[in-house]
């Protein structure tokens, strides 16, 4: 049985690469993330394919626009059948509330499970210098916490944040709030462009609900072995 706290980011551009990875990883992975690279190149067939394989789909398109546009976007994505959808918390409370309402209404109309909405706080590729350079006033951790509380108050089901902020978010937003953390780097992997990183073990101990991991698996010489090591580390916590 796969551990559904692990979400593998399918950051590839073709269906061939998708089918190859999904086939290679087989039953060891049950949750996949489709992001901009894949969705813009291959579209909705990616979601359909993963569903046909019995996989859960996190559709990460990071919506960020005026409330009406985001609400309509969420309605369209609910029709696609994604389980998790991202939008930027910096779109503000009115945008987030409009998105939550749209998801509820679309799910009711379609008689399907309502997708969960995740608000992206401060991207894990930011460090304090980069954050200050775009005018960030608060330390990143405080800004993430502020956005997480706002997201919760605006009807979001959870947030995307770095594992370094998971503990503070868990304390502030409670046990039912989803905390999805990218920026996960097992000891065997390079940081790449990620700045606020932690290991799978540390992220889970600090309260992360799910871990998003891409390149440490998809670019590994042996993706199966990478998943095995990561899941072993994740499950050692429960033992």
Ligand X SMILES: O=C(O)c1cc(=O)[nH]c(=O)n1[C@@H]1O[C@H](COP(=O)(O)O)[C@@H](O)[C@H]1O
Show which residues are catalytic. Answer: 60, 62, 65
Q: Does 148 bind ligand X (CB under 6 A)?
A: no
118 Cβ contact list (under 8 Å, min separation 6): 84, 85, 86, 87, 156, 157, 158, 159, 160, 178, 180
Residue of 78, 86, 199, 202 interacting with ligand X (CB under 6 A): 86
Q: For ligand X, what does the binding mask look like between residues 112 and 131, x meaning CB under 6 A?
A: --------x--xx-------
Location of structure tokens 């046990």: 175
Q: Distance between CA 117 and CA 65 in Å, rounded? A: 15
DSSP state of 41: H
């005026």: which residue's tokens? 66
Q: Name which of residues 4 to 33 contact ligand X (CB under 6 A).
A: 9, 11
Does residue 96 sit in helix, strand or coil?
helix
Give CA 139 to chain center in angstroms.
22
Q: Among 77-85, 106-114, 151-159, 213-221, which window interacts with ligand X (CB under 6 A)? A: 213-221
Site string for ligand X, 161-180 (x = CB under 6 A): --------------------
226 binds ligand X (CB under 6 A): no
Joined together, the tokens standing for residue 170 give 């868990």
Q: What sign does the dihedral 209-130-197-202 (CA atoms) show?
A: negative
Q: Which is nearer to ligand X, 86 or 209 (CB)?
A: 86
- The only residue of 115, 158, 207, 214 in contact with ligand X, by rule CB under 6 A: 214
Three-state DSSP state, 116: strand
Is residue 182 a contact point for ligand X (CB under 6 A)? yes
Is residue 69 annotated as involved in ligand binding?
A: yes
Residue with Cβ nearer ligand X (109 or 222) = 222
Q: Which is nearer to ligand X, 35 or 207 (CB)?
A: 35
If the CB atoms of residues 152 and 210 are measured against ligand X, the closer one turns out to be 210
- Residue 191 and residue 194: Cα distance in Å, rounded? 6
Q: Which residues are annotated as a binding site for substrate?
A: 11, 33, 60-69, 124, 185, 194, 214-215
């Amino acid at each position: 049985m796969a551990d559904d706290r692990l979400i593998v980011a399918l950051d590839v551009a073709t269906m061939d690469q998708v089918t190859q990875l999904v086939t290679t990883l087989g039953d060891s992975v049950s949750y996949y993330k489709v992001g901009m690279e894949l969705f813009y190149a291959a579209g909705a067939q990616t979601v359909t394919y993963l569903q046909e394989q019995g996989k859960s789909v996190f559709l990460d398109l990071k919506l960020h626009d005026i409330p009406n546009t985001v609400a309509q976007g969420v309605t369209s994505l609910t029709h696609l059948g994604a389980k998790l959808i991202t939008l930027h918390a910096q779109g503000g409370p009115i945008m987030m509330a409009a998105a939550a309402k749209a998801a509820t209404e679309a799910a009711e109309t379609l008689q399907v499970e309502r997708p969960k909405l995740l608000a992206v706080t401060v991207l894990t590729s930011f460090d304090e210098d980069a954050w200050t350079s775009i005018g960030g006033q608060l330390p990143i951790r405080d800004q993430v916490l502020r956005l997480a509380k706002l997201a919760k108050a605006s009807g979001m089901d959870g947030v995307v944040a770095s594992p370094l902020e998971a503990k503070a978010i868990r304390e502030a937003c409670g046990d039912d709030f989803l905390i999805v953390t990218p920026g996960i780097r097992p000891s065997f992997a390079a940081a790449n462009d990620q700045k606020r990183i932690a290991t799978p073990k540390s992220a889970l101990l600090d309260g992360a609900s799910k871990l998003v991991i891409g390149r440490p698996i998809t670019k590994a010489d042996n993706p199966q072995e990478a998943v095995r090591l990561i899941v072993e580390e994740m499950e050692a916590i429960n033992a």
